[in-house]
Amino acid sequence: MRIGVLKESAPRERRVALTPDAAARLIKQGSSVAVERGAGAGAHYPDAAYEAAGCTLVHSAEAESADLVVAVRRPTAERAARLREGAVLVALSAGDPGEALAALNGRRVTVLALERVPRITRAQSMDVLSSQATVAGYRAVILGAEALPRFLPMLTTAAGSITPAKALVLGAGVAGLQAIATARRLGAMVTGFDVRAAAAEQVESLGARFLAPEAVAGDAETKGGYAKELAEEQQQKVLEAVAGAIGQADLVIATAAIPNRPAPRLITSAMVESMKPGSVIVDVSAETGGNCELTRPGETVHHADVTILGPLDLPAGMPQHASQMFGRNVQTLLDHLAPKGALTVDLDDEITGAMCLAHEGTLRHRGNG
C-alpha cells in the first residue's frame, strides 16, 4: 500500500497527519510512505526526519496520487479533484462546506472522516477527537494563566503570602478533564461542572470539587458518552448553578460541547459582569459558537474588566505533540484498514462503516458532509 501525506494549507494549521515515527511503523509493516515536501515543517518535523524514517519526499502531485491519502483537514475542492480515482482519503472533515466532498465523490474516492471514529473500546487508540481535545484543554489553561494578572498557585514570600487562584472548568469531557488536571498542577483551586452525572467521579478523581450535583441531569448523556441537549427547565438549573459559582472564579475554562450542535450557552453577560475584576474566561468552544454569549471566535473581548478569549484551532497551536498524538491515531487506524498490508474498505465493519462519508461514487452520512 502506498500512503501519501499531504502538506496542510488551512490558515493556522501547523499539524501533520503522520509524524516520522508513525510513518516508520507503517513502513516496517510493508507500506511505502510518500510525504509532500515541507509537510511536517510547521510541527517541527523536518524533511530529513522523514527521510531517516524511510519515507520518500515528493511534490504534491505524487502525494495526491497515492492509494491512500492522509491529511489533518480534508483538502480543498480544487485539490480533491486531483486525487487518484478510487483512492482512499483519511482526514478530518468537520466544518467542510461540502464542495470538497462532492469533488471527491465524483472521483469515486472513499472518504473516511476521522471525527466519526466511534466511541468504542477497540477504537480508542484511533480517536483523534479525544487526543486533540487533550491538547486543547492543556493549552486553554496555559493561555488563561498568561492572561491572568495574578499567580495561579499559593506562594509564601518575603513580601507576604499569595492565595491560590480559583479556576472553574465548565464541561468535563476530555478537554475539560485535561484542563482540570493542568490547572491543578499549576496550583489553582479547581471546581469542575458537567451536566452528566458520571462526570462527578471523574472530576473528583483529579482532586477538584464537583459543582452543584443537584443540577445534574441523570439522563443528560448519550450512548456514546457525550452530553446531550437539555430541556429548558434543566438548562435553567444549569445556568443557576454556573451563576452561583462564576463570581468566585479568577479563571474560567469553558469546554462544554454537544456533537453536531452549537455549543451550549452557559455564561451570560450578567454572569460576566458579576465576576471579579481581572478575571479571565477561555472559551474552548469558540469555534462552535462559544459557551459565553460575549465570545467572538478568534478574538479577545474585554467586558466589565473581564477578559474573554475565543481561541481557534487550539491543538494546531501546539503542533509537535498534537501531531505526534494525531499521527499515532492515524497509524492505528491504517493498521485496522490494512492488517496485512492490503487495504480493505469493509463498510460492514463498525469502525470503517461509521467513518465512511463516500464510497464508490455514493454519498453516505450526509449530515456530516
Measure CA of the first residue to CA of the last residue in the chain; give whole Å. 27
Q: Respond yes or no: is residue 127 known to be catalytic.
A: yes
- CA-based max dimension of the chain: 72
Listed in sequence order, the residues at least 6 apart from 18 whose beta carbon sits closer than 8 Å to its beta carbon are 3, 5, 26, 33, 35, 70, 327, 330, 331
Indicate which residue of 37, 107, 108, 119 is catalytic: 119
Indicate which residue of 124, 205, 236, 269 is catalytic: 124
Indicate which residue of 31, 60, 93, 130 is catalytic: 130
Yes or no: say if 206 and 177 are a contact pair by the CB < 8 Å rule. Answer: yes
Q: Respond yes or no: is residue 14 known to be catalytic.
A: no
Indicate which residue of 32, 226, 265, 274 is catalytic: 226
Indicate which residue of 2, 14, 50, 127 is catalytic: 127
Q: Respond yes or no: is residue 119 known to be catalytic.
A: yes
Yes or no: say if 36 and 7 are a contact pair by the CB < 8 Å rule. Answer: yes
Q: Which residues are catalytic?
A: 119, 124, 127, 130, 226
